[in-house]
Structure 1
């Protein structure tokens, strides 16, 4: 039996949406625990506190720490018990919202998500990623339901740094490049719908992102925020796990295991799209992938998405570190194996260091380690 979690039970989106959501929150519980990062909790407190007080809710807050980790979740469970919470309110970016959703699931409580940036679709999805205390991706957890309530307050999101929306655009646009590879051949109605929604999402972002970034708070900016936070979530909801991730997210997961990874989720994923297209181009000789990569490089330059390891702050990466990231991305349970061809470590390494190469350069099937060394040296 296939069970889909397509969407939150309710979505409230508007400027000043927080102030309009009090009664909707109160219907879900009377003793909320607010979960977020230290900065997000401070940023939202002056607006959320009066809303909860007006509804006479007994609330407290707890920081999830640095990552949505097993240790963090254990501490949050203690906070739930101490407060006798009957509702979780997640506030912040992707990791804070993942922690809130997973905590709510483990404690069998409803959850409200309040994104403070448009960097991911985590506020929408029935999925949480779990990381180590050092920020290395470990595994994801599919949840039985999307959040009970999503509050998308455009005024709150507008306070986030510009690069968070840029990263959200990179994360969202990956949906097309991954879903079309993993599920583009499907004849199932909902998966067809999900793949086509991913194409629509890509086109919206191609057309509107540059203008939106120049005019924060404008109508077109809101449309791009809707695309990254809401529409991106719809695709995984309709299509299920197989429509979510392929090589781009696998590369992200591998990079999180390196000692230096200052870039955020969507930045790594957007770089991972280029790696995936480079693999399709080099291993398969796929001309469409070559054309798509050149198109993306132009788009990335226009809005400021990373194109190389150096752009991610990894200009000093060693061969050993590159191999480590590639091997993790290729672990047996990795989504990279949804590619329609087999990839070996050396091929992935070469693709990771040649994302800006001219189209159809250096075909690598078969490949030697010498080529990887040459690519890194260049």
Structure 2
């Protein structure tokens, strides 16, 4: 009888990058985790921003020297961009680095992960704020030198080690945690649209986790912001840094981003405005819900937007363009952002209906509208 078994082809395989190989969390854990870092390599290249290096370099050097690690530190500059990546690869080779350590916010961690991916070296992420889930994910966003989003890179694996030191996170401005809440709560509004109809077991789990994450943030965010360092504060930090990352790991690319992040990407192409990632994403959720109202007549989206507006007002997330410093945006600038948001490869096209640039512009200027305005699509 002929052998009926077959070898799966590359196209039939699904590779999931769900979680870091190891996660260590707790207050003051950084100093006690150097031995775990040393297992990955003894010649770390530390990638951080100028501010982080200025604040942490001396203390980090003392911690690493205790394990006789031969470190060198390099600033990633202003953004995770091609010029920076090239310089960091050169620095890593000159140092003969055998492990990459990212210390800082989302852009520092994305840069470190991508350099590690390109050089096939292990990666350690040490977030200094709870502004994003970048310390967890197998994904890096690449920007231009001026901060405009260009593309993202799916990495071969999540970090080898994530160190979440609550004491370090607590030194960050509270604004970063508020932004992290905005970035994390977007998981539900985007995943439920892009993947809520799918039957894959892990995708179902990811969507349900996104719903639980939303509920945790609704219930605990305000209390957490009022009591930094408390147990409820730690729970919210875990939600933004860890749980938010797990959703994308379980659900895959189709469960990560839809219109909210696409709007963020478009807005990064407007220069001179100082809002941070999670703030733009939070605003982008309102734009997505507004589109669902306008183009589908979706009353649930209307109710969700009104609920979010109250929540945003309570914790300080932006509700409209003016809150992002874009109160005086010109029509030409708005159209530029809209057209980039609607680029052919944009995640906004995961919406179950087509969006024209004039519809998107209308949604972008009416995120606080009290009543639903129906626009006939087509």
**TM superposition score normalised by structure 2:** 0.96
Partner residue, 2:62: 50
Superposed counterparts of 1:106-125, under 5 Å: 106-125=118-137
Report the Cα offset of residue 78 of structure 1: 1.1
Paired position in structure 1 for 2:304: 292
- Matched with 1:257 is 269
CA shift at 1:47, angstroms? 3.0
Q: Distance in 2 between matches of 1:192 and 1:43?
A: 42
What's the counterpart of residue 321 of structure 2?
Answer: 309
Matched, 1:71 2:89: no
Question: Match for 1:128 among 119, 140, 147?
Answer: 140
Whether the 8 Å CA contact 1:31–1:58 is kept in 2: the answer is yes
The equivalences for 1:218-229 within 5 A come to: 218-229=230-241
Q: Which residue of 1 aligns with 2:9?
A: none
CA contact (8 A) 1:69 1:133 kept: yes
What is the CA distance between 1:9 and its match in structure 2?
A: 0.4
SS class of match (2:103): strand
Match of 2:10 in 1: none
Of the three residues 356, 370, 376, the one matched with 2:368 is: 356
**Does 1:14 pair with 2:26?**
yes
Distance in 2 of aligned mates of 1:161 and 1:54: 29
Counterpart of 1:374?
none
SS of residue in 2 equivalent to 1:47 = helix
What is residue 161 of structure 1 aligned with on the other side? 173
1:329-368 alignment runs, 5 A limit? 329-360=341-372, 362-366=373-377
CA offsets, 1:34-72, max 9 Å, x none? 000011122222332222111111001000000000000
- Deviation track 1:5-50 (CA, whole Å, cap 9, x = no partner) reads 0000001101111011011000000100000001112222233222
State the SS of the aligned residue for 2:40.
coil
Matches of 2:377 and 2:158 in 1, distance apart?
44
- Output one character per residue of 1:144-179: Cα deviation in whole Å (capped at 9) or x when no partner: 100000000000000000100000000000000000
- What is the DSSP-based 3-state SS (H/G/I as helix, E as strand, rest coil) of the residue aligned with 2:125? strand
Structure 1 Cα separation of the partners of residues 59 and 23 of structure 2: 18
| Runs of 5+ unmatched residues, structure 2 | 1-12
Tell which deviates more after alignment, 79-88 or 163-172: 79-88
Q: Find out whether 1:173 has 2:194 as its counterpart.
A: no
Q: CA deviation at 1:365?
A: 2.1
Q: Is residue 213 from structure 1 mapped to residue 225 from structure 2 by the alignment?
A: yes
Count of paired positions: 366
Comparing 216-225 with 37-46, greater Cα deviation is found at: 37-46
Tell me which of 117, 127, 131 is aligned to 1:105. Answer: 117
Residues of 1 paired with 2:259 and 2:337: CA distance? 13
What is the alpha-carbon distance in structure 2 between the residues aligned to residue 231 and residue 41 of structure 1? 27
| CA-based RMSD | 0.8
Shift, 1:285, TM fit: 0.2
1:214-271 Cα shifts (integer Å, max 9, x gaps) = 0000000000000000000000000000000000000000000012231000000000
Tell me the distance in 1 between the aligned counterparts of 2:199 and 2:114. Answer: 32
CA distance in 2, matches of 1:4, 1:166: 29
**Map of 1:37 onto structure 2:** 49
How far off is 1:366 after superposition?
4.9
Aligned to 1:246: 258
8 Å CA contact 1:255, 1:261 repeated in 2: no
Q: CA deviation at 1:81?
A: 1.3
Instruction: Assess if the C-alpha contact under 8 Å between 1:123 and 1:147 holds in 2.
Output: yes
Q: Secondary structure at the match of 2:375?
A: coil
Query: Higher mean Cα deviation, 14-23 or 228-237?
Result: 14-23
Distance 2:353 2:303 in 1: 19
Match of 1:144 in 2: 156
Deviation of the 1:359 alpha carbon: 2.9
- The TM-score, its normalising length taken from structure 1, stands at 0.96
Tell me, yes or no, if the aligned pair for 1:18 and 1:47 is still in contact at 8 Å. no
